[in-house]
Chains A and B, each alone.
Chain A
């Protein structure tokens, strides 16, 4: 054997040895990986469980939602939101246990007693004494304790709807109202902020006038609830988006923790379980001004609410 051949053989032997050693080490080391969660043998520790919950609040929550005709610079409305007249008035009554409720829509011209101010249109109460007096007026009228109010303006309503990205409303009639700028066809419509405001304001061309308008305002609230629920179902973090918008656009005496709890509860109250009820009333006049007088049916409605039979 030549020296060159012997040298080559030695290299080959060494390489083969190293390869064998390396292979041996790899094989030997494989089962020695430290145990991880993925390595765990298939012992079933947990069965599948699912659950969810939203807050359980006191049995009934009554919220007065108010749309002011002031404090809306975008619409040329000066003054403060709280110092204006309350042109949209809904009483929202939620049974938090049965997860159902009612929205009572009041015509703004309802002729009622305002504590300390005699009889007048209900929308004047806020101009006389701010939201507190308006709440007191409603409490005296209905016999219900109103827990909180939520107040916004034209600007606030349009901003809310635009920021949440349109609100789906069941428009109940074809509308051609140039006074309010409402041009909508009957059916399910996704309304922009401007369209939502127009729908809430249109009155002059509607057959029922103020009655139709207050019903539309109730529909708008329900549409907002449905839109909120759909968005939160898709993305639970939308609760924070909506709360942020409400924080910026709505004046309320709701403490934040209660606002959050109500917002969470609202995800759990099907819109189909909320009835929109126009308060029974009839057109009339007082001192030459056109007003709306509540009918006896309105007072029996309040009685049923007080007894917890409606919400």
Chain B
């Protein structure tokens, strides 16, 4: 429980469900479209169960466990029929794989949650591909979200995929292991700490000279990207413009 991939191989015929994080559904739908594009290009059959909503993490992290359990139960009801549940987020994947069992030990929700994997791990460890046929001719650096890094031990799946993208120049982010400061509600409840940590992450990202900061978590990108945009527009003068993109968007890219 909690390890990145079951290291079980995906085989044709097994049902794959695509799970879209709730905030990404509303704020970054392009991430979902990118995953669809990617799966279609890889000829990987998948389904998007319409009834899906959220993994329940906001309530769980805030301490409201009854509400989190109710949402987790709905998640389990929606995704029970699928052998593989793929989500473009280390944070949501960790919630399902690690914390469903913490929340409701040995429950049905925990059993379904154990079948969730984040996108990068699914591709590299379960499907077994590293080159997804993408092309992205830019200088790229990668931010490793804390949950993917520490709860899932997701390791190098994302950077492995990035390095295989045609014409992509990968440069490692300094202090990659440091938290960006998002932390869910922490980002507003402890706003000064959150943005101080974010400012450090932005500075590290700019120091790489990359055109794009990529991450497997839109939640981190929402926070870092928001700070980069504010800095770019700021009075201190022109800062080297930096975009943020989700890993799926880079992998879907072919031009």
Task: Please determine whether chains A and B interact with each other in the same assembly.
Answer: no
Binding site for A on B (CB under 8 A): none
